[in-house]
């Protein structure tokens, strides 16, 4: 350009709601005469989409925080109402836009949208810059390094990533010095036209809405990161923290919603954690130090070229399982009315606060799908999409396929008992009492199984099971065995043909991961017919794996699956017996 001040930039925020480590924004600001930062909200989509009020509130808080940060740079955030394909051309003409920048979207539907916008910009003679900053790596590089296909086990993913160059360092934060030559035209009616809307303006009823447990925004994300890294004792010991009832509560160092909305850079988190580890341990950190980020990256990579990643039908990596359709049971699970206090408390926390511990996610997902209700993982994914702050398309769908044994890891003989798991995680029932106050007067002995309490105890607790709190929706001991048999039949069918590339795994008792691959026909797998686990192994490993699988099955059946039946009131026993006959 002849005039270095003729560059008029628009930066389009989607995810990546931050000023730190934002390479596309930095590129747009270079030599810019004017710049405007925009975020687009479709008001109709806000009211019709499957996104709950807590998630929308968190997003609006992120936008408000971003607007405050831009004010310090003598700029503002422009929140646009409409759809990108309709709104952007009009704004570009009005503002004389010459350059558009945005963060590269790693997900299939986002890529299609961006390709259409880039084609439109080409027709308007507008330059477009998009940069990778939502993921640590360029996902195409991982796929290419793995022979042109995404890794479908986490351990294979780790092997591929460990052979690659480290991810790029985080870019500098946009500050006054960077934007000093770029001007943002702001009108007096900016707030009326481009201000961040309220929940009420988006059509939400806020009456009875509880105060937020999670405060959205980059400022809060960076404060949490600082607190997270202050836990030097954890970094020094570098072990998995012990599960305690307090672990089930939202933490002031939790980061997952901030990574999902891009308020916190994955690269900043990665390198600050790495630097701290080196400082404390005087050594290069293991790859597993970044497990939270790498699991996220793993699911993004698996989904990046698969537009049907969130579906069972048409999804090449998903086992086709004949799930039941049971809207009534699904509603009871979603609303915390299954009659299993541990499951109901977790789902109540999710609905009220928008977050649950990762082990709690395992428990409720197993209960909905292969463990008890035999309802499709797609239905659970939709509920999490609505309620879970950190649920995004790739990670949410991938996690549900994993938990339901529909892809990635088919350890279908691992089944969480909703009573035993709850007792291990919350032995005194404090978590249950917090989220299910109707049960607060139950003694520890019965709070995980209130239907076993004598009538006198139920009356003293002012909560009669089947009247004030529901009976268990299923007999777990019976139905879990039935469902395990159903899973075995599914995998027996898979063993009769060369499968779609889904990988099963079974860890041995020492924690070694043994990879079992369905690309081998049933003849080679005949010794695994009992549980129909498919494998591709050397002959000299066969006995070791058979032994490991048997040990693992026995261990999980004894430790986690079935809680011994307990006596309750005669009326409750009769109703539970009836349930067992139905299921």
Write the pLDDT tens digit of every residue in 375-423.
999 999 999 999 999 999 999 999 999 999 999 866 666 788 999 999 9
Evaluate whether 563 touches 417 at the Cβ level (below 8 Å): yes
Annotated binding-site residue? 234: no
Whole-model pTM: value is 0.85
- 295 marked as binding residue: yes
Beta partners for 36?
A: 10
The answer to whether 391 is annotated as binding is yes
CA–CA gap between residue 387 and residue 355 (Å, rounded): 8
Which has the closest alpha carbon to 89: 375, 80, 458, 474? 80
pLDDT in tens, the chain (583 residues): 444 448 999 999 999 999 999 999 999 999 999 999 999 997 655 555 688 999 999 999 999 999 999 999 999 999 999 999 999 999 999 999 999 999 999 999 999 999 999 999 999 999 999 999 999 999 999 999 999 999 999 889 999 999 999 999 999 999 999 998 999 999 999 999 999 999 999 989 999 899 999 999 999 999 999 998 887 666 666 555 566 778 899 988 899 999 999 999 999 999 999 998 888 877 777 767 788 899 999 999 999 999 999 999 999 999 999 999 999 999 999 999 999 999 999 999 999 999 999 999 999 999 999 999 999 999 999 999 999 999 999 999 999 999 999 998 666 667 889 999 999 999 999 999 999 999 999 999 999 999 999 999 999 999 999 999 999 999 999 999 999 999 988 888 877 644 444 433 333 333 322 233 333 233 333 333 323 333 322 333 333 333 333 333 343 333 333 343 344 554 554 454 344 334 4
- Please give the mean pLDDT across all residues of the chain: 84
E strands present in 416-527:
504-507, 513-516
Q: Which residues is 8 bridged to in the sheet?
A: 34
Consult the annotation and say whether 337 binds a ligand.
Answer: no
359 is in an annotated binding site: no
186 within 8 A of 76, measured Cβ to Cβ: yes
Contact by Cβ (8 Å): 39, 61: no
CB 307 within 8 A of CB 110: no
Q: Which fold has domain 1-134?
A: Rossmann fold (3.40.50)
| 189 marked as part of a ligand binding site | no
Q: Token pair for residue 93?
A: 């003409």
Phi/psi for 93 (5° steps) reads: -65, -45
pLDDT digits (tens, 9 = 90+) for 421-474: 999 999 999 999 999 999 999 999 999 999 999 999 999 999 999 999 999 999
Measured in degrees and rounded to the nearest 5, phi and psi for residue 558 equal: -80, -35
Site of tokens 């986490």 = 154
Q: How far is CA 274 from the centre of its chain?
A: 23
pLDDT value of position 238? 56
Per domain, the residue ranges of the chain are 1-134
| Interatomic CA distance for residues 245 and 222, integer angstroms | 26
Is there a binding annotation on residue 402? no
Residue 247 confidence (pLDDT): 87
293 is in an annotated binding site: yes
* pLDDT at position 420: 95
d(CA 538, CA 178): 59
Q: Is 299 annotated as a binding residue?
A: yes
Q: How many CB atoms lie within 10 A of CB 538?
A: 7
Q: Is the separation of the CB atoms in 224 and 253 below 8 Å? A: yes
Closest CA to 187 of 94, 108, 313: 94
| In contact, 302 and 398? CB cutoff 8 Å | yes
Q: What is the CA radius of gyration of the chain?
A: 26
């Amino acid at each position: 350009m002849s005039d270095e001040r003729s560059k008029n930039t628009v930066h389009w925020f989607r995810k990546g709601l931050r000023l730190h480590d934002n390479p596309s924004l930095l590129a747009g600001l270079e030599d810019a005469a004017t710049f405007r930062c925009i975020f687009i909200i479709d008001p109709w989509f806000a009211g019709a989409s499957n996104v709950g009020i807590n998630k929308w509130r968190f997003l609006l808080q992120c936008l408000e925080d971003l607007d405050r940060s831009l004010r310090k740079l003598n700029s503002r955030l422009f929140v646009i109402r409409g759809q990108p394909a309709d709104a952007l051309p009009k704004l570009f003409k009005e503002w004389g836009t010459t350059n558009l920048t945005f963060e590269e979207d790693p997900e299939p539907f986002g890529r299609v949208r961006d390709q259409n916008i880039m084609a439109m910009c080409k027709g308007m003679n507008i330059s477009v810059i998009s940069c990778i900053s939502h993921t640590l790596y360029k996902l195409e590089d991982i796929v290419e390094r793995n022979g042109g296909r995404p890794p479908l086990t986490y351990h294979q993913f780790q092997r591929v990533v460990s052979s690659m160059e480290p991810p790029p360092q985080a870019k500098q934060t946009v500050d006054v010095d960077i934007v000093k030559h770029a001007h943002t035209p702001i009108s007096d009616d900016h707030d009326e036209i481009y201000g961040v809307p309220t929940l009420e303006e988006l059509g939400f009823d806020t009456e009875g809405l509880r105060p937020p447990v999670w405060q959205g925004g980059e400022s809060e994300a960076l404060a949490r990161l600082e607190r997270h890294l202050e836990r030097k004792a954890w970094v020094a010991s570098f072990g998995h923290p012990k599960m305690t009832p307090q672990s089930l509560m939202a933490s002031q160092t939790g980061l997952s919603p901030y990574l999902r909305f891009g308020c916190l850079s994955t690269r900043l988190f990665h390198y600050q954690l790495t630097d701290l580890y080196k400082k404390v341990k005087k050594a290069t950190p293991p790859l597993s130090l970044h497990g939270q980020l790498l699991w996220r990256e793993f699911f993004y990579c698996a989904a990046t070229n698969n537009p049907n990643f969130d579906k069972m039908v048409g999804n090449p990596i998903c086992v086709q399982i004949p799930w039941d359709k049971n809207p009534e049971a699904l509603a009871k699970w979603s609303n915390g009315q299954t009659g299993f206090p541990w499951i109901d408390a977790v789902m109540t926390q999710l609905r009220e606060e928008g977050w649950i511990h990762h082990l709690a996610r395992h428990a409720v997902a197993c209960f909905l799908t292969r463990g008890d209700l035999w309802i499709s993982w797609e239905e659970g994914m939709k509920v999490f999409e609505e309620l879970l702050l950190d649920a995004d398309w790739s990670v949410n769908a991938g996690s549900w396929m994993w938990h339901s044994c529909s892809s990635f890891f088919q350890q279908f003989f691992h089944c969480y008992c909703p009573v035993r798991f709850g007792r291990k995680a919350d032995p005194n029932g404090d978590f249950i009492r917090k989220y299910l106050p109707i049960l607060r007067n139950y003694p520890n002995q019965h709070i995980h199984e209130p239907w076993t309490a004598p009538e006198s105890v139920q009356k003293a607790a002012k909560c009669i099971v089947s009247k004030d709190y529901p009976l268990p929706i299923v007999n777990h001991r019976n139905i879990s065995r039935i469902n395990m048999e159903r899973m075995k039949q599914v995998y027996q069918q898979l063993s009769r043909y060369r499968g779609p590339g889904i990988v099963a795994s079974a860890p041995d008792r020492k924690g070694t991961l043994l990879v079992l691959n369905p690309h081998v026909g049933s003849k080679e797998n005949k010794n695994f017919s009992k549980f129909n686990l498919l494998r591709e192994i050397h002959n000299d490993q066969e006995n070791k794996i058979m032994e490991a699988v048997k040990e693992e099955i026995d261990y999980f059946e004894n430790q986690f699956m079935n809680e011994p039946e307990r006596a309750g009131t005669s009326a409750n026993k009769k109703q539970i017996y009836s349930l067992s006959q139905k299921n």
